[in-house]
Structure 1
Amino acid sequence: MNTTKDILITAFALFSLFFGAGNLILPPLLGFKSGNLWGLVTIGFCISAVVIPILGILAHAKLQGTIFDFGKKVSPTFSLVYSFIVYAISISLPSPRTASVTHEMAITPFFNSTSLTTSIIYFSLVFIFVLNRSKILNVIGKILTPAIILILLLIIGILTFSFDFSFGNTLFTSPFTDGILEGYQTFDAIGAVVVGGVIIVSIQIKNKEDSYETKKTLIRKAGWVAGLALFLIYTGLAVSGALVHNFFDSEISRTALLTGLSSLSLGNIGNLFLSILVSLACFTTAVGIVTGTADFIKSRCNNSSQAYIITAIIGCLLGIVIGQFNVGYIIAIALPALMFIYPITIVLILLNNLPEKYASNIVFKSVVIATILFSIPDFINSIPFISLKPTIFSWIPLQKYSMGWVLPALVVFIISNWLAKPTHE
């Protein structure tokens, strides 16, 4: 039986596992640069940072499996390779980035310690939580997330009611698509297929007696609640950034702007509140990523507890090493990987939410192949020091917006469903 308490605890856990470093530092600068078009930019951002990730959670509720189940209709080999790539990216980029953000925003203002020291202590604590995964839902859902949301609402509420609603001019050339692409940097679509599995396993451990339908309903309801919370927080942060366009230099960094917002809203004590917020938001995401990766490797090794522990150790060691780099650098090196893996992830999430008659094996294979092929130009162009001549791929619709895969994937989806129609009848 799904009580309101169960739904809220699970929703809070989902929110917290999603709401990490990128989710905190990206929306304010997005709003700051979007000016009077903050609404359009925010909608684009929320499509890739809220709608798609929540659909990923709903797909998990439907499949009741792991990330491997997302791509198995293409082929078991593809699904295995895709899973390994996603987890490799997750523990190599977004997980270490949480330590980097924590150091820059929560440690540096108060302590004269090195990033290495921060990373070691940070991922030691992450490791402890990962080993005690059965308590993840309760600790995150009951304690950490409410604290995160309370601090965020304080900052957003004070800023919203302290400034006139006047905005500057936008600095974006393509506000809507720029918002969508910025949403990639949250890693939340990838996070949905990674941490969604963590939630599934945690619920199965906690609610062993519940039926499949009961668990599925719980996850679905919690997913929509978490999605609404994410949307409201992102919009609030974007508006806050847009309102202070006259207070900061246009070249301000993401972390510096967030620090400035906390100071404007909460005064001298703002940095202390922000430090707590950053630490909590980043930490819960790192725990979710490392736990999800360890779960997957464990499932591929005959449920070996040793494999789970070894993977957790490797994930935390990678976090220590890569987490020493600054946030801007990690965001920059993440872009090529995101331009390739994100479109594939979006397509898999969407297909897994469709009724079976519109998502046969042949449809999965055709659409994923088309997505991979038409993502290659965006991937190559996003690699530093490499740039293809624009005329080479200018014939691809939406290519100039780095979204050349969208229409080809849609066309192939329609054609493959039309060709496969006799098998549905």
Structure 2
Amino acid sequence: MEKLSKRDLILIGLMLFSLFFGAGNLIFPPFMAEAAGENTWIVTSSFFITAVGFPVLGVVAVAKSGGLTNLSRRVNPLFATVFTILVYLSIGPCLGIPRAGSLPFEMAVAPYLPENISIALALFIYTFIFFAIAYWLSLSPSKLVDRMGKVLTPALLILILIMVIGSIIKPIGGYGAATGDYATSPFVKGFLDGYLTMDTIAALNFGIVIAVAIKSKGINDEKEIVNTSIKAGIIAGILLAVIYALLAHLGAASGGRFGATENGAQTLTNITTYIFGKPGAILLALIFTLACLTTCVGLITSCSQYFSTLTEKISYKNWVRILTIFSMTFANMGLTKILSVTVPVLNAIYPVAIMLIILAMMDNILKGSSVVYKLTILFTGVISVVDALGQVGLTLGFVTSFISKLPFYKEGLAWIIPAIVGMILGVCIKFAKESFNSNKVLSDKASN
């Protein structure tokens, strides 16, 4: 059996890391740790669950299932179509890609522009160049391993390493006191903060990209593709955890010295300016741009590959053009409008994605049991969607009132108990049916 060389495996792992690591991954850990202060490592440990653990498991689940569509079809064919399209749209042109295009500009470029320059015009020029590069990189998905694994990812890691080394040479300070939810419920808060990276949802998309990358290296055996995807996921997960831990340390130290900021970009700006002075702004802009570019390319590629399977009339390259132009247009609406819909959508989709991944990892026991998948996802989805609607002011009478009384509702985790109940109920029905069918077979044999 043909196997991937260790060098190519590392390159694919680096590529997967760069697909995951966007600007959100860069700003949330230090911003979170800045407020967490002395509770930083409690918060970070639960952040790892939703920002590292589930994304890695998502890659494994998709690889083992032969794609997101095959995985979600275990629930229901209609659900598979609706959920898959919703995931690709939310992580792609409607939220993820425009956010990746506008965030580095608004966080690392706009604050340093002269007052006489139009922000709207500057944003258009920046996003035009940004998406032109992303478009060129996305046209050849088979070359992503070399372009991202050999060039973009190492460049990004070197820039982050420079920032970390700078903090060692010029220490920022000690950790401050925890504030808000980070003081009262740090573990839960860290868990929920992991949603904001969007990586668990992204993992369901990137399975296609990783499979294509592995096949481009001459590996066609499905079992080996799955094994390689798992190894690449582990490499990417380790890198994510290390980088998050370093950024969290910097953020906690920043909070102790500078106090609270409005967002993670300001936290990183304080850090880089303190360590490097004005040149720190250039370093930060480069880090933001590279982080967002690699994620943007991964999202455009995975979405285009998926949508090209829905119709033969539009080719992969045409989908790349469509998604790039649409995303650039949406990015010019501004980051604030994009982020205003991000959190409710994530709160609706994320719990379903988490439970789908958990079910996939248990499938050796569940044997693809439709009733277990259906009840688990039904119980999870209803609660998460109604809860998300409530967050934007849309209440459903007694349904919303009932959900508000569930355990962990105030913490934003009202879906957990219903999800567990749905899974247990499904397993009980599954074994009851199997027992009934087994007894019936024995009875039929005895009567004959």
Structure-2-length-normalised TM-score: 0.88
Q: Is the 8 A contact 2:254 2:267 kept in 1?
A: no
Render the CA deviation track for 1:154-200: whole Å, top value 9, x for unaligned. 22343256144433233324222221222111110111011222111
Q: Is the 8 A contact 2:71 2:360 kept in 1?
A: yes
Q: Is the 8 A contact 1:98 1:285 kept in 2?
A: yes
SS in 2 for 1:189: helix
**Residue equivalent to 2:103:** 101
- Is 1:69 aligned with 2:70? yes
Counterpart pick for 2:185 among 174, 177, 190: 174
For residues 42 and 272 of structure 1, the distance between their equivalents in structure 2, rounded to whole angstroms, comes to 28
**Residue equivalent to 1:333:** 341
- Which piece of structure 1 moves more, 232-241 or 256-265? 256-265
SS in 1 for 2:406: coil
Q: Is the 8 A contact 2:172 2:253 kept in 1?
A: yes
Q: Is the 8 A contact 1:60 1:200 kept in 2?
A: no
**Could you say if the C-alpha distance between residues 147 and 403 of structure 1 is closer, same or farther in structure 2, counting changes exceeding 3 Å?**
same
Q: Which amino acid aligns with 1:141?
A: G
**Residue equivalent to 1:378:** 387
Structure 2: tracts of 5 or more residues without a match: 439-448
Render the CA deviation track for 1:51-76: whole Å, top value 9, x for unaligned. 0100001112212x332122010112
**Residue equivalent to 1:139:** 147
**Could you say if the C-alpha distance between residues 376 and 106 of structure 1 is closer, same or farther in structure 2, counting changes exceeding 3 Å?**
closer
**Residue equivalent to 2:46:** 44
Q: Is the 8 A contact 1:340 1:372 kept in 2?
A: yes
For these two proteins, the number of residue pairs brought into alignment is 421
For residues 263 and 196 of structure 1, the distance between their equivalents in structure 2, rounded to whole angstroms, comes to 38
Counterpart pick for 2:361 among 332, 353, 360: 353
Q: CA deviation at 1:388?
A: 7.8
**Residue equivalent to 2:288:** 278
**Residue equivalent to 1:121:** 129
Q: Look at both structures and tell me which one has the larger radius of gyration over its CA atoms.
A: 2
Q: Is the 8 A contact 1:339 1:382 kept in 2?
A: no
Q: Is the 8 A contact 2:50 2:194 kept in 1?
A: yes
Q: CA deviation at 1:230?
A: 0.4
Q: CA deviation at 1:385?
A: 8.0
SS in 1 for 2:352: helix
For residues 370 and 16 of structure 1, the distance between their equivalents in structure 2, rounded to whole angstroms, comes to 34
- Is 1:54 aligned with 2:56? yes
**Residue equivalent to 2:419:** 409
Q: Is the 8 A contact 1:370 1:408 kept in 2?
A: yes
For residues 166 and 333 of structure 2, the distance between their equivalents in structure 1, rounded to whole angstroms, comes to 33
**Could you say if the C-alpha distance between residues 391 and 81 of structure 1 is closer, same or farther in structure 2, counting changes exceeding 3 Å?**
closer
Q: Is the 8 A contact 2:348 2:385 kept in 1?
A: yes
**Could you say if the C-alpha distance between residues 167 and 213 of structure 1 is closer, same or farther in structure 2, counting changes exceeding 3 Å?**
same
Q: Is the 8 A contact 1:74 1:364 kept in 2?
A: yes
Pairing of 1:391-410 with structure 2 (within 5 A)? 392-410=402-420
**Residue equivalent to 1:21:** 23
Q: CA deviation at 1:209?
A: 4.3
- Which piece of structure 1 moves more, 317-326 or 104-113? 104-113
For residues 26 and 393 of structure 2, the distance between their equivalents in structure 1, rounded to whole angstroms, comes to 26
Q: Which amino acid aligns with 2:390?
A: N
Provide the identity percentage.
Answer: 29
- Is 1:368 aligned with 2:369? no
Q: Which amino acid aligns with 1:341?
A: I
For residues 371 and 392 of structure 1, the distance between their equivalents in structure 2, rounded to whole angstroms, comes to 14
Render the CA deviation track for 1:96-123: whole Å, top value 9, x for unaligned. 1111122124433368552122122211
Q: Is the 8 A contact 2:254 2:270 kept in 1?
A: no
Render the CA deviation track for 1:4-47: whole Å, top value 9, x for unaligned. 21221011001000000210111111000111111111122211
SS in 2 for 1:340: helix
Structure 1: tracts of 5 or more residues without a match: none
Q: Which amino acid aligns with 2:189?
A: D
Q: CA deviation at 1:93?
A: 1.0
SS in 2 for 1:138: helix
Structure-1-length-normalised TM-score: 0.92
- Which piece of structure 1 moves more, 383-392 or 26-35? 383-392
Q: Which amino acid aligns with 2:247?
A: L
Q: Is the 8 A contact 2:48 2:194 kept in 1?
A: yes
Q: CA deviation at 1:261?
A: 1.6
Counterpart pick for 1:188 among 182, 186, 199: 199
Q: CA deviation at 1:392?
A: 4.4
Q: CA deviation at 1:324?
A: 2.1
For residues 95 and 233 of structure 1, the distance between their equivalents in structure 2, rounded to whole angstroms, comes to 22
Q: Is the 8 A contact 1:66 1:296 kept in 2?
A: no
**Could you say if the C-alpha distance between residues 166 and 357 of structure 1 is closer, same or farther in structure 2, counting changes exceeding 3 Å?**
closer
RMSD, matched Cα: 2.3
For residues 418 and 353 of structure 1, the distance between their equivalents in structure 2, rounded to whole angstroms, comes to 19
